[in-house]
């Protein structure tokens, strides 16, 4: 074995000690996904991928399987995967519980958020934040829990970013919230937890146009190179304010068409009937 000079030894030592930079973007991949509930198949072979920094819109008529897709990605026990795979950064998520998937960096904003009387939004968010940190968010296992004071400072920054009053965090989770307030609460959770991939299940559902604009503005402030977003929606209106890179149409449990943002405009003008006819031919 040849002897190394002092300079070569130093270079070799630096090479070993210097951490390897991970420049690859995280990716959520859905491959030939079939899922059922109570024996009834809802998803019948769904394929697509979402990377950090991308915005994907999943559109489709009522009953097409959009919310089932969101719940299955997050591991809702009511839905059974019968075939295919859901993977994150090349590792399957199928054997992980919902909280473990959240620790990996996957987030789901519910279409109908639950009310939790007696638990303040601030307490809920701090518990969720510490749970994700300790579970190894972004691969850093065992991060220390943040104190109440530390988290209060963080939360205040996020509230300011989203133009929300500080008093919002003192209210009980979703109790007495309007539809718009519930959806803004979900976006605040997104801001605090900062997942790699966020699934927004019909965030615009039941909102008037002003509330849609407010929610969209919050999402736009958070989306960036480190966060990919999957927007599930029935209507095109939220996509006027959140511009997707890709649009996919889900029909009867299958992805029947994919395209650019113009596809959403075509749906707005022509509806879903032409897609149904095209899928049958």
Q: Tell me the CA distances in angstroms from 80 to 149, 218, 250, one per residue in order.
A: 41, 33, 19
Half-sphere exposure of 118 (CA within 13 A, CB side): 0
Tokens for 197, please give them.
């991939």
pLDDT digits over 128-171, tens only?
Answer: 999 887 754 444 445 668 888 999 999 999 999 999 999 999 99
Give the per-residue pLDDT at 140.
46
Confidence at 228, pLDDT banded by 50, 70, 90: very high
- Tell me which architecture the domain covering 24-280 has in CATH: 3-Layer(aba) Sandwich (3.40)
From the list 254, 275, 273, the residue with the least C-alpha distance to 68 is 254
Mean pLDDT confidence for 66-77: 96
Mean pLDDT confidence for 84-104: 95
pLDDT of 279 higher than 80: no
Confidence at 75, pLDDT banded by 50, 70, 90: very high
CA distance 66 to 126: 30
Confidence at 2, pLDDT banded by 50, 70, 90: very low
pLDDT of 256 higher than 90: yes
pLDDT digits over 163-196, tens only?
Answer: 999 999 999 999 999 888 998 999 999 999 999 9
Mean pLDDT confidence for 75-80: 95
Cα 109 to chain center, whole Å? 7
Give the per-residue pLDDT at 207.
85
Cα 15 to chain center, whole Å? 36
78 and 37 in contact (C-beta within 8 Å)?
Answer: yes
Task: Provide the mean pLDDT of the chain.
Answer: 86
Give the per-residue pLDDT at 261.
92
Query: Which residues are paired to 87 by β-bridges?
Result: 29, 92
Give the per-residue pLDDT at 224.
87
Helix locations, 194-250, DSSP H: 209-222
Mean pLDDT confidence for 245-270: 93
27 and 104 in contact (C-beta within 8 Å)?
Answer: no
Give the per-residue pLDDT at 231.
96
138 and 214 in contact (C-beta within 8 Å)?
Answer: no
From the list 269, 263, 237, 265, the residue with the least C-alpha distance to 250 is 263
Mean pLDDT confidence for 9-35: 64
Confidence at 45, pLDDT banded by 50, 70, 90: very high
Domain boundary assignment for the chain: 24-280
Give the per-residue pLDDT at 13.
37
pLDDT of 17 higher than 60: no
């Amino acid at each position: 074995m040849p002897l190394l000079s002092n300079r070569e030894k130093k270079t070799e030592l630096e090479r070993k000690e210097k951490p390897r930079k991970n420049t690859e973007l995280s990716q959520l991949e859905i491959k030939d996904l079939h899922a059922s509930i109570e024996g009834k198949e809802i998803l019948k072979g769904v394929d697509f991928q979402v990377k950090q920094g991308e915005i994907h819109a999943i559109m489709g008529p009522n009953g097409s399987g959009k919310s089932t897709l969101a719940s299955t990605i997050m591991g809702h026990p009511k839905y059974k995967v019968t075939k295919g795979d859901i993977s994150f950064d090349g590792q399957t998520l199928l054997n992980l519980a919902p909280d473990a998937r959240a620790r990996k960096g996957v987030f789901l904003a519910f279409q109908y958020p639950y009310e939790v009387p007696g638990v303040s939004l601030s307490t809920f968010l701090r518990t969720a934040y510490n749970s994700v940190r300790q579970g190894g968010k972004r691969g850093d296992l065992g991060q220390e829990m943040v104190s109440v004071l530390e988290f209060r400072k963080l939360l205040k920054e996020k509230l300011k970013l989203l133009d929300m009053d500080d008093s919002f965090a003192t209210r009980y989770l979703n109790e007495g919230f309007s539809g718009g307030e519930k959806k803004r609460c979900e976006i605040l959770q997104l801001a605090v937890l900062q997942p790699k991939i966020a699934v927004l299940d019909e965030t615009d559902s039941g909102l008037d146009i002003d509330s849609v604009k407010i929610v969209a503005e919050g999402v736009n402030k958070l989306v960036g190179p480190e966060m990919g977003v999957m927007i599930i929606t029935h209507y095109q209106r939220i996509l006027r304010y959140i511009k997707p890179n890709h649009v996919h149409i889900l029909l009867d449990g299958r992805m029947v068409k994919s395209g650019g943002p113009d596809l959403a405009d075509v749906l707005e003008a022509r509806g879903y009937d032409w897609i149904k006819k095209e899928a049958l031919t």
